């Protein structure tokens, strides 16, 4: 086993009350791809910051290989003092790092590099921070929610980049599909302590459930043993004559263990408040159009949404998902075409910006709209504290100001308020943001079992596959197509082609920048290769040669007849590495061939 580049052992940290980290451990060696998982508020981000050297633990050992480079992706990047995004990204490069790598990453993340940091949206700042972390190809990347604010095509591109990278990775993410694809190891942070599984996230839930079942069984056995010992102390013949002090001491120890046991975190209970049944037809759109200046967002779209349908809207950032959603729910008028809403509709909306919340308002007041201590859920009056418990809030938090909540707690609070409103049409815009895995599972069950109709916007492929009955996705030039089934079904119906976001992102960037500066006149079609294409044409032959050399070396290794007998496991690893290198060579050759044909065509 390779020596660790990073090793945290026995880490302890307390912010008053129960310890946040109580003997936690985390180590990463070269090539490790670790999913760090746990409930919201369990200390995942704190442990990652300790690994990055941003927080000092109160106890425990921290070792970082002196020669190793470590880069950390924060949830809120600080870009003060940089004139442009490119300057911010290139500031993360070392003297020997390739500056072209920064250009490559910015392009794939939908940025030019010339943007002013002060003008970036939260999503754009996040993508810039991701480019800065990845550009130097460090020994270890510590990534806290890297897929936040990324659209589907960029998430899929990022997956491939992280799968191919030689950097060790420690990832925090709520995107199950992303973790399943990228991770090879899983570290579970639970009640201040860590457990490690040397398999990817796809095996985590079965492993976690087995541990919790064993823990519950052990706790039950301990309780039974305490009862037996107490019975002996009261009624045993020996006990009547003389107390056995050793046995009494053991009983006290068992009682302390039993009382001090921190059970598994509770499970949220999510139930949407039902309204009266809507009509069979919920929404009908006929040939609707919507444009903003020269940008056509929706063109000639028609659909019929009926009671019980669960419709997912997907597409790149800026493609017009929220605009289409607002038109379908009657909030925005189309430029042309008609929208007809069904009868008896009661709509509950969770928007992407998470409605304005007064940071000084208490949780109790926010949930009840300041109308006392009770609310009505499904026709029954419930005390606000009882309802808060369904969403994993403690009774003492009823008077807590919203400003003191973590991001995940705030997401749960807003969701609790939306679900308290009677509705037969749920409209959810990015509902999975900031939710932990367990709460996300319950939201999936709620959406899949909701008696009314659901329209949701999401970049979470796993969530879409588990909940929706159809997908609406953009095609080109404002045209949208509806596909039966979930996200995977949509890809199959498209012949495996993924959503191409580049035109949409550039259009969105143009629309956003129009509010900041005078729009530029459209440029003539390019008659020459772009900088990126030229760079690729120059570098691809060298890359192909390097991969070919690697293939030859691996083929020579497996040609040794004694290799398998000497090291069967190493032989299988070499075979897998050879297959991967051959696939890489094929991809490089195809890319070079396409660019070469394009160059010949442009040069006439």
Q: Give one DSSP letter per residue of 180-191, joined into a string.
A: HHH-SEEEEEET
Count how many Cα atoms sit within 13 Å of the Cα of residue 284 in the half-sphere of its side chain: 8
* Beta-carbon contacts of residue 344 (< 8 Å; ≥ 6 apart): 275, 276, 277, 278, 279, 424
Q: Is 337 annotated as a binding residue?
A: no
Q: Is 467 annotated as a binding residue?
A: no
* Residue 298, CA distances (Å) to 13, 199, 304, 316, 343 in order: 52, 44, 16, 14, 25
Q: Is 38 annotated as a binding residue?
A: yes
Q: Is 319 annotated as a binding residue?
A: yes
What whole-number distance in Å separates Cα of residue 414 and Cα of residue 401?
A: 14
Q: Is 308 annotated as a binding residue?
A: no
| End-to-end Cα separation, the chain, in angstroms | 55
Q: Is 317 annotated as a binding residue?
A: yes
List the strands of the sheet with 347-350, edge to edge.
Answer: 347-350, 425-429, 453-457, 310-313, 470-474, 480-484
> Do 11 and 59 touch, CB atoms closer than 8 A?
yes
Q: Is 486 annotated as a binding residue?
A: no
Q: Is 136 annotated as a binding residue?
A: no
Q: Is 316 annotated as a binding residue?
A: yes
Q: Give one DSSP letter per residue of 432-492, joined into a string.
A: TTT--HHHHHHHHHHHHH-SSEEEEE-S-HHHHHHH-SEEEEE-STT-EEEEESSHHHHHH
Closest listed residue to residue 141, CA positions, set 108, 182, 106, 110: 182
* Beta-carbon contacts of residue 389 (< 8 Å; ≥ 6 apart): 266, 395
| Chain position carrying tokens 């083929």 | 555
Cβ burial, residue 78 (10 Å; 0-12/13-18/19+) = exposed
Q: Is 315 annotated as a binding residue?
A: yes
Q: Is 117 annotated as a binding residue?
A: no
| DSSP structure class, residue 430 | S
Q: Is 64 annotated as a binding residue?
A: no
| Chain position carrying tokens 């709209």 | 369
Binding residue positions for ATP: 38-45, 315-322
Binding residue ranges: 38-45, 315-322
């Amino acid at each position: 086993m390779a020596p660790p580049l990073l090793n945290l052992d026995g880490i302890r940290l307390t912010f008053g009350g129960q310890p946040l980290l109580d003997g936690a451990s985390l180590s990463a060696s070269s090539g490790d791809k670790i999913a760090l998982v746990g409930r919201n508020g369990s200390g995942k981000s704190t442990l990652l910051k300790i690994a990055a050297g941003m927080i000092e633990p109160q106890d425990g050992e921290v070792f970082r290989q002196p020669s190793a480079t470590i880069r950390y992706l924060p949830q809120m990047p600080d870009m003060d003092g940089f004139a442009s995004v490119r300057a911010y990204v290139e500031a993360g490069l070392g003297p020997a790092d390739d500056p072209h790598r920064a250009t490559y990453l910015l392009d794939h993340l939908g940025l030019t590099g010339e943007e002013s940091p002060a003008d970036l949206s939260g999503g754009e700042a996040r993508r810039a921070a991701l480019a800065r972390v990845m550009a130097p190809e460090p020994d270890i990347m510590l990534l806290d929610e890297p897929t936040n604010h990324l659209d589907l095509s960029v998430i899929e591109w990022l997956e491939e980049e992280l799968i191919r990278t030689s950097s060790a990775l420690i990832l925090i993410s709520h995107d199950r599909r992303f973790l399943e694809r990228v991770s090879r190891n899983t570290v579970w942070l639970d009640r201040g302590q860590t457990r490690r599984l040397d398999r990817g996230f796809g095996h985590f839930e079965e492993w976690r459930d087995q541990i919790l079942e064993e823990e519950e069984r052990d706790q039950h056995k301990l309780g039974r043993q305490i009862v037996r010992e107490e019975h002996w102390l009261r009624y045993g013949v020996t006990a009547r004559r003389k107390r056995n002090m050793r046995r009494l001491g053991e009983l006290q120890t068992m009682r302390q263990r039993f009382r001090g046991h921190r059970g598994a975190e509770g499970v949220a209970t999510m139930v949407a408040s039902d309204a009266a049944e809507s009509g069979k037809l919920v929404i009908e759109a006929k040939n609707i159009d919507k444009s903003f200046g020269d940008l056509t967002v929706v063109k000639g779209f028609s659909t019929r949404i009926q009671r019980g349908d669960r419709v997912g809207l997907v597409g790149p950032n800026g493609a017009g998902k929220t605009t289409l959603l607002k038109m379908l729910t009657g909030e925005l008028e189309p430029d042309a075409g008609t929208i007809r809403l069904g009868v008896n509709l009661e709509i509950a909306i969770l928007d992407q910006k998470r409605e304005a919340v007064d940071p000084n308002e208490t949780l109790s007041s926010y949930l009840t709209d300041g109308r006392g201590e009770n609310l009505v859920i499904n026709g029954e009056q419930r005390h606000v504290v009882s309802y808060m418990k369904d969403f994993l809030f403690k009774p003492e938090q009823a008077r807590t100001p919203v400003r003191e909540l973590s991001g995940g707690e705030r997401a749960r609070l807003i969701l609790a308020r939306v679900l308290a409103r009677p509705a037969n049409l749920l409209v959810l815009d990015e509902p999975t943001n900031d939710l932990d895995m367990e709460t996300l599972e319950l939201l999936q069950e709620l959406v899949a079992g909701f008696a009314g109709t659901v329209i949701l916007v999401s970049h979470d492929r796993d969530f879409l596959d588990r909940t929706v009955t159809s997908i609406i996705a953009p095609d080109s030039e404002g045209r949208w197509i509806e596909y039966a089934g979930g996200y995977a079904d949509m890809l199959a119906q498209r012949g495996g082609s993924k959503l191409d976001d580049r035109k949409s992102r550039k259009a969105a960037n143009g629309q956003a920048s129009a509010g900041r500066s005078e729009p530029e006149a459209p440029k003539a079609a390019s008659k020459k290769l772009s900088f990126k294409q030229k760079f690729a044409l120059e570098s691809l032959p060298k890359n192909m040669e390097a991969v070919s050399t690697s293939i030859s070396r691996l083929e020579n290794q497996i040609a040794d007849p004694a290799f398998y007998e000497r090291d069967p496991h190493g032989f299988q690893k070499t075979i897998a590495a050879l297959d991967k290198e051959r696939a890489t060579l094929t991809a490089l050759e195809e890319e070079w061939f396409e660019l070469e044909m394009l160059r010949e065509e442009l040069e006439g």
